[in-house]
A and B are shown apart, each in its own frame.
Chain A
Amino acid sequence: MSLQSSGRKSGRFVLPGERLGVIEEFIPDAGTYVRDGVIHSRVVGRALLDLLNKRVSVYPLVHGAKVPKNGSVVLGQVSNVQTQNATMRIFQIDKKQLSGFFTGILHISDVRLRYVESMFDVCKPGDILRAKVISEKNRTYHLSTKDKNLGVVHAFCLRCGYMLELKRQEMRCPRCGKIEKRKAALDYGEGAM
């Protein structure tokens, strides 16, 4: 195992609160907390004792409890568009589906590197958008689509609601022929819904 070759020992199964050692023998690392000088686990996982660097951490076996962080790539549905801003309901963070949703805001200055005239040329309500969290200040998640693989992944025709097709720079509705504009991601229309 790669964990063992790097000097770590894949340890025993631990629960939250289980005692891992004292601060005199280990430096507490991820998945642990210290109370009265004793290191405890704070998640369900496996205790990793790094005897070389004197570190103790817990490798989590549960992958839950995700909230948007700076730099995380999120997927969501556009709920409202104004000329300067668009709001989005985030329902997936780094490929982890959420049970509820978080609200994020995409400002027009964070859409592309170059100048963007109107937010209505970027996305429309109902579109599925992939974006990156650039700030969590002011109690809101600020998003950015300044990258090739960020932007609209699925868009719907404003007139008939059919899924739009990407034609060079524009979007075309295969059912009613309406031409629309979007800031599309590189893999537009490819991913499963």
Chain B
Amino acid sequence: MSRKPEKLIDKKGLRLDGRKPDELRPIKIEVGVLPNTDGSAYIQQGKNKILAGVYGPRELHPKHLALPDRTVLRCRYRMAPFSVQERKSPAPSRRDIELSKVIREALEPSVFLEYYPRTGIDIHIEVLQADGGTRCASITAASLALADAGIPMQDLVTACAAGKVDNTIVLDLMDTEDKEGGADVPVALMPNLNAITLLQMDGILSLEEFEKAANLALEGCRKIYPMQKEALKAKYVSVKEVEE
């Protein structure tokens, strides 16, 4: 359907959707959207629409997976068949399974797993609409869902990607930029502890370019963190005031 555009960055230095190279897509975050879960969050980042829900800590089934000293974090990332232009098969693809693992490992350092031995925490991430950078948006949303479930955490996790498009380092790539561009560096950060929990790269970057991209992505994470905070505040501070 969509043809490869001639240029990903125009003469004025603006991108396909009119953003500057270091500009994020508009983000909307909501917390506590699913009443049947223990904690949930919804994120809209540009054309991405992602729901995250958390259950637990609860008894783990099958029971033999349970660990005697800590809780088991399980993560399930799925894309809806209608989330992309060509229908995606609803069966978990290789990519879905890998992203589930990557997201789980990005969130694991932030959770105090040892507080709930012999239990399990399930994170479900449903991508309703995808437009590049879903793993980062999923991490941002899943971390909020964990906080909404009242699970003790070291820090929230914020994620953002940067990459190379037409020899320029740009922030928060969208789908066409990701596919046609040169490289992609997703980064997840615990902003208060200043610790990186996820760092990946695909494509080819020189050492200087990589450093520039990683720093740009970290900057993006620090821009998203206040939005995460606002989203949690919007839910809990208003609830508190009603109680008083």
Q: Which residues of A contact B (CB under 8 A)?
A: 13, 15-19, 33, 35, 40, 42-44, 60-65, 67, 98-103, 139
- Contact between A17 and B190 (Cβ–Cβ < 8 Å)? yes
| B232 and A40 contact, CB distance less than 8 A | no
A62 engages B150 (CB within 8 Å): yes
Q: Are A98 and B147 in contact (CB under 8 A)?
A: no
Per the bound structure, the CA–CA distance linking A99 and B39 in Å amounts to: 10
Q: Report whether A33 and B154 are in contact in the complex, using a CB–CB cutoff of 8 Å.
A: yes
Instruction: Say how far A64's CB is from chain B's closest CB, in angstroms.
Output: 3
Per-residue A-contact encoding for B51-78, CB less than 8 Å = 1, 0 else:
0000111110000000010000000000
A98 to chain B, nearest CB (A): 6
B65 to chain A, nearest CB (A): 13
Q: Determine if B203 is an interface residue (Cβ-Cβ < 8 Å).
A: no
> In the complex, how many angstroms separate the beta carbon of B147 from the nearest chain A beta carbon?
5
Chain B positions near chain A (C-beta within 8 angstroms): 36-39, 55-59, 68, 110, 112, 116, 118-119, 147-156, 190-193, 228-229, 232-233, 236-237, 239-240
Are the CB atoms of B118 and A40 closer together than 8 Å? Answer: no
- Per the bound structure, the CA–CA distance linking A17 and B57 in Å amounts to 20
Contact status of A13 and B192, CB under 8 A, knowing A65-B150, A99-B38, A100-B56: no
Give chain A residues whose Cβ lies under 8 Å from the Cβ of B112.
33, 42
Q: Shortest beta-carbon distance, A79 to chain B, in Å?
A: 13
Contacts of A42 in B (CB 8 A): 112, 152-154
Chain A proximity of B109: nearest CB distance (Å): 11
Cα A5 to Cα B159 with chains together (Å): 42
Output the least CB separation between B218 and chain A (Å): 16
* Shortest distance from the beta carbon of B64 to any chain A beta carbon, whole Å: 12
Residues of A within 8 A of B151 (CB): 64-65
**Nearest Cβ in chain B — how far from A103, in angstroms?**
6
B59 contact from A33, A35, A40, A101, Cβ within 8 A: A101
- B-chain residues with CB within 8 Å of residue A101 when the two chains form the complex: 58-59
CB atoms of A65 and B155 under 8 A apart: no
Q: Tell whether, in the assembled complex, residue A13 and residue B236 are in contact, meaning their CB atoms are under 8 Å apart.
A: yes
Which residue on A lies nearest to B61, using beta carbons?
A100
Contact A65 B57 (CB under 8 A): yes
B37, B147, B233: which contacts A16 (Cβ < 8 A)?
A: B147
Q: Please measure, in the bound complex, the distance between the C-alpha atom of A101 and the C-alpha atom of B232, giving whole angstroms.
A: 27
Q: Which 6 A-B pairs have the closest CB atoms?
A: A17-B155, A64-B150, A100-B58, A62-B150, A17-B192, A16-B153
B192: which A residues are within 8 A, CB to CB? Answer: 17-19, 40
List, in ascending order, chain B residues with CB within 8 A of A33's CB: 112, 152, 154
Instruction: Give 12 A-B pairs besides A33-B152, A61-B239, A102-B59 with Cβ atoms closer than 8 angstroms.
Output: A13-B236, A15-B229, A15-B232, A16-B147, A19-B192, A43-B150, A43-B153, A62-B236, A65-B150, A67-B116, A99-B37, A100-B58
Count chain A CB atoms within 10 A of each CB in B37, B192, B233, B240 and give the residue with the most. Answer: B192
A32: nearest chain-B partner, CB-CB: B152
Q: Are the CB atoms of B236 and A61 closer together than 8 Å?
A: yes
**Which single residue of chain B is at the shortest CB-CB distance from A65?**
B150
Q: Are A62 and B148 in contact (CB under 8 A)?
A: yes
Q: For residue A40, which residues in chain B have a CB less than 8 angstroms away from its CB?
A: 154-155, 192-193
Chain B residues near A63 (CB, 8 Å)? 150
Residues on the B chain within 8 Å of A16, using CB: 110, 147, 152-156
| Chain A residues whose CB sits within 8 angstroms of the CB of B110 once the complex forms | 16-17
